Structure 1
Amino acid sequence: MAFEKNLVVVAIFIVLGTLASQATSRTLSEASFAAKHDQWMTKYGRVYADNAEKERRLSIFKKNVQFVEKFNTEGNKTYMLGLNEHSDLSDEEFLRQRTGYKRATELTSSANISFRYEDLSPTDVPPSIDWREKGAVAPIKDQGSCGCCWAFSAVAAVEGIIQIKTGKLISLSEQQLLDCTSGYDNQGCNGGFIPSTFEYIRQSGGIASEGNYPYHAVQGTCNANQPAVQITGYEKVPENSEEDLLKALSMQPVSIAIVGSGNEFRNYQSGVFSAADCGTRLDHAVTFVGYGTTEDGTKYWLLKNQWGESWGENGYMKILRDAGPPEGVCGLARDAYYPTA
């Protein structure tokens, strides 16, 4: 009988020891996440209003860390994920602050829907191009907590065609587009369209330089009186055709819409992005500034984002080209436009 009691006592101690070990492990894990969050806050200069806000952000940060680590440890992917300056934002906050594309239901009456690069032959299209190397791409910008990706996408494409035409790369004003295009169906930090943005630049007499009209990440009063460059219009790349998109991009940077709010896209760090299921709602506008093929033969598009240099490969993404579906990965070939000058 005493022997059985001893066994019970031993069993109890084992259970208690296991529970204590698990509790200690959880405590260490929580401490590890808290330390990682503190390091992240220091790196990106993040300051919260109070401890309650910090705890809420820590919870979101932990969720994002776990998603990234799980994805990377599973392996067998052509790309890796990582933390960036947006890692304490909830899904809803990220969608509202960091995207902002609204697809136009129809083109404005003066839009040119022709496609000037239609007759380019395969021999006219080089196997790869990087418009950064040709001086047609300004440094990575950051839209901040304003959903005006459409303005940055349009500006990058205009900066590109003006440099190609004149040899001068001028950083242009997203703020002017944010302030002045409400009459063109754009909604400031609440979203906008690529084609109507090009139409505004054409009709208004041009767009100012960033130096003369700097970005503030909030919509203000329109003060467009110092245009630096002008465009003659814009054209649309035939929908759902990566072949035609390639033709256009071989000649100039192209504004495109994409599904950019998914967890994998927002946490992309390196490699060739090839997510199979992004959803169908185009919600982000970026700029294609090149294309090429990796050493292992994987074809990609080179995407310029405006989420700062902490995202992706110093602000850029390689995304799979000719993936199979006509709309491309994350719908990249559905809505593509380029300005004319």
Structure 2
Amino acid sequence: MVLGFEKFPSKNPVPITSLSITGNDLITTSPSPSFLSASPTSHPTSFTLANNTIDCSPTDCSTNSFLLNSPKHSPLLYQISNNRCRPPIQSPCVDPRDISIESHGITCRISSLVADCACTSSTSSIPSKFPTNISIVILGDCESLQIDKEASDFSQIYIFRTSKLSIQRLPRHLKILKIFHSTVSFEGSSRGTVPQQWEISNSKIDSISPSGLSNLHLISLHLNFCRLPYIPSTSTRNSKIENLIIENCFLETTQPLFEVSDTLKMHHSIIFSSPRGLGTIASAQLQNNTLLECCRHPYLDYRMGLDTIDLDPRCDLHFYAILPLIVFSQLDDTDFFEIQEDREHPEKIYKAFEEFKIKYNKKYKTKEENQLRLANFVKTVNTVDKLNEKSQKRGDTTVFGINKFADLSNKEFNRRLATKPPKVPSSTHSFHNFPKRVKRQIEDFPINFDLRHETIDHFPIIGDVKDQGECACCWGFAVTAMLESVLMVRLKRSRQLSDQELCDCAAEERKVGCSGGSLSRGLHYVNETGLSAQLIYPYKDTRARESGRCEADKKRRTFPPGRLAVGYPQLEYSDYEFPSFIYNSKLPIAVFFAVPPSLQVYKSGVYSDENCNITGSIWHAGIFVGFGEEEKPNGLVEKYWIMKNSWGEEWGEKGFVKIIRGRNWCNIEQGAVAADLNDF
């Protein structure tokens, strides 16, 4: 439809209750045309101007506007969206310019296509003397909303599907603001004088100026499926919210949102930092949330006055400022980290997490679990960055990295570790029948030696790396790994022995195999009963969490009973006795040690982190399969052990780790155990 006009007729007007101008080609010749000039008897309750092509005036398309004048009665609802301005043929726009459509003071400068150039700068201003209870709906192309200082009667704003809307000023008497499927920024100051209700859904707040949300009193703020940016500390100054509901949101803020005076409800959301200035909360409901950063300082004395709290057990909180100490007992992990986020590209962490899930075939059952795993992943990324930075400053060769454990909490990871150190037999123990020739072997050995490169009849001496899963049966895996080498070297049999049999049958009294065990007890069990093969007694990491599961009497023996000799090399001779035994006998040595938290993210290099508590730590076991030396970046030479672990090939150097040698790192050289056949 092509419609040409100067004005709507004002003589004997027909009353109009609703006027919609949509999808038209509007032609005008007036320098300042007016679309609507209604008499007192003609005042539509709504006006829509959408998807039209509108002529500019013949003069300058950067200054022309179309007036929708209704002096005494303005519509209660304006909809202005997706219109295009067309300049006169004889005066085309060469550069992008502002074309404005004015509706009784609402000037929406829209993104318009002018010849071959796009008018990109847009402004919508709302002046003073608005009628009371008017509502504005902004759709589509309008890019800037400006409200004059005196426009205090404007009560409602609804914003739908705008790609880039800058809100310059909010009216003082605004009661309702609803934003849906839009990207907006708050650039001007706000001075609301009446309580307001805000709802922002499926939207992104692009930016908030230093005073963009100041001096507000909100009855409620409901954020749903939203992304909020970094918020300057002054943005919400003197603002107060009575009920804050955050659902399914991603908050990048590191500053207080508002002073919450009544209720906080936070569901299924990810927050990059703790909201440090939430004020006194009467009631808090926190469910399935992930807080990725915590305050740098523990605000334990901050007055929260929390009367009631509904804390869902799946809530993964790692901050101090919002909850009192009594809540900490309900949390899995009280450690907290400061997330080093890229504020310009926060999506990087999501991309890295998706790549992590693909690489390690991670599949989560629910959105809530995915959210929780993301939180653990971000913590791990941050930990890795800090550890690598410290390692470089010390001049170490240790490199830390993301592995399959990156989405686990500390509590989950520690399930594969023992909580108590194993007992070490005294020198008078009756089981000490290790041949004395071991101690008399030559002390000559090369600087570097690795059993992984040694073979018997083309079969490797060191078997494949296994994975103990979520079961603290590392002691059983260390024993079988050592005895598999004994079988290969002495009897020339390449067999994988049953870790599950040891976990089921050789645990300490009144304990289960998955709660930890003893190297010496495992070896004693094998010497008494022998050991079956992995093939006929396979491993399942959940099986040994219960007692009474031993089925050894039903399985054929692969490692023979009664032929095992065990020795306990002494700490004071470890620097030469350990490597001498490994090199000359071509057999590994089993060890146990206290575990520093950083071992979880070890990737390569010589590991030397001594952040382990011998008296109250968690413990692990493995086998030494070699030794060597390497030069550090600072020129110093560092000795190391090569240890085979039981966390799978996706950890460390394909399941192995180099550990600092000669310093009894985390007690590792103190309780070593060597095994051989007693008739060799």
TM-score of the alignment, normalized to the shorter chain, above 0.5: yes
Give the TM-score, by structure 1 length.
0.85
Q: Rg larger in 1 or in 2?
A: 2
Alignment of 1:192-211 (within 5 A): 192-204=517-529, 206-211=530-535
With a CA cutoff of 8 Å and minimum separation of 6, indicate the structure with the bigger relative contact order.
1
Give SS of 1:314's match: coil
Structure 2 distance, partners of 1:133, 1:317, is: 16
Q: Which moved more, 1:58-67 or 1:93-102?
A: 93-102
Check the 8 A contact 2:417/2:618 in 1, yes or no.
no
Do residues 299 (structure 1) and 624 (structure 2) align?
no
Do residues 266 (structure 1) and 600 (structure 2) align?
yes
Q: 1:32 aligns with which of 330, 348, 366?
A: 348
Structure 2 distance, partners of 1:88, 1:283, is: 21
> What is aligned with 2:423?
104
> What is aligned with 1:239?
571
Do residues 131 (structure 1) and 451 (structure 2) align?
yes
Check the 8 A contact 2:507/2:522 in 1, yes or no.
no
Q: 1:154 aligns with which of 460, 476, 479?
A: 479
Q: Residue 292 of structure 1: CA displacement?
A: 1.4
Residues 85-123 of structure 1: per-residue CA shift (max 9 Å, x gap): 111222222122355664116469531166732223322
Structure 1 distance, partners of 2:489, 2:510, is: 29
Structure 2 distance, partners of 1:128, 1:115, is: 26
Structure 1 distance, partners of 2:608, 2:408, is: 23
- Name the aligned partner's letter for residue 47 of structure 1: K
Structure 1 distance, partners of 2:657, 2:432, is: 30
Structure 1 distance, partners of 2:447, 2:495, is: 28
Residues 20-56 of structure 1: per-residue CA shift (max 9 Å, x gap): 8635865766543233222212221222232222222
Residues 263-289 of structure 1: per-residue CA shift (max 9 Å, x gap): 221110011111133221461011111
Q: 2:414 aligns with which of 71, 95, 98?
A: 95
Residues 48-95 of structure 1: per-residue CA shift (max 9 Å, x gap): 232222222222221111000122234233201011111122222212
Check the 8 A contact 2:434/2:675 in 1, yes or no.
no
Q: Residue 156 of structure 1: CA displacement?
A: 0.7
> What is aligned with 1:65?
381
Structure 1 distance, partners of 2:371, 2:430, is: 52
Check the 8 A contact 1:101/1:257 in 2, yes or no.
no
Aligned pairs, number:
327
Check the 8 A contact 1:100/1:192 in 2, yes or no.
no
> What is aligned with 2:559?
229
Give SS of 1:227's match: coil
- Name the aligned partner's letter for residue 229 of structure 1: F
- Name the aligned partner's letter for residue 648 of structure 2: G
Structure 2 distance, partners of 1:143, 1:210, is: 13
Give the TM-score, by structure 2 length.
0.44
Residues 288-307 of structure 1: per-residue CA shift (max 9 Å, x gap): 11111225642210010010
Structure 1 distance, partners of 2:660, 2:433, is: 27
Q: Structure 1's 152 and 168: CA in aligned 2 closer, same or farther, altered over 3 A? A: same
Q: Structure 1's 240 and 54: CA in aligned 2 closer, same or farther, altered over 3 A? A: farther
- Name the aligned partner's letter for residue 301 of structure 1: W
Higher helix share: 1
Give SS of 1:228's match: coil
> What is aligned with 2:148?
none
Q: Residue 199 of structure 1: CA displacement?
A: 0.2
> What is aligned with 2:589?
254
Q: Which moved more, 1:176-185 or 1:133-142?
A: 176-185
Q: Residue 317 of structure 1: CA displacement?
A: 0.6
Structure 2 distance, partners of 1:131, 1:305, is: 14
Give SS of 1:333's match: coil
Q: Structure 1's 303 and 33: CA in aligned 2 closer, same or farther, altered over 3 A? A: same
Give unpaired runs (5+ residues) of structure 1: 1-8
> What is aligned with 1:284?
620
Higher strand share: 2
- Name the aligned partner's letter for residue 447 of structure 2: P
Structure 2 distance, partners of 1:115, 1:298, is: 32
Structure 1 distance, partners of 2:600, 2:657, is: 11
Do residues 309 (structure 1) and 649 (structure 2) align?
yes
Q: Structure 1's 207 and 253: CA in aligned 2 closer, same or farther, altered over 3 A? A: same
- Name the aligned partner's letter for residue 594 of structure 2: V
- Name the aligned partner's letter for residue 580 of structure 2: K
- Name the aligned partner's letter for residue 651 of structure 2: W
Q: Which moved more, 1:99-108 or 1:150-159?
A: 99-108
Q: Structure 1's 15 and 192: CA in aligned 2 closer, same or farther, altered over 3 A? A: same
Q: Structure 1's 186 and 264: CA in aligned 2 closer, same or farther, altered over 3 A? A: same
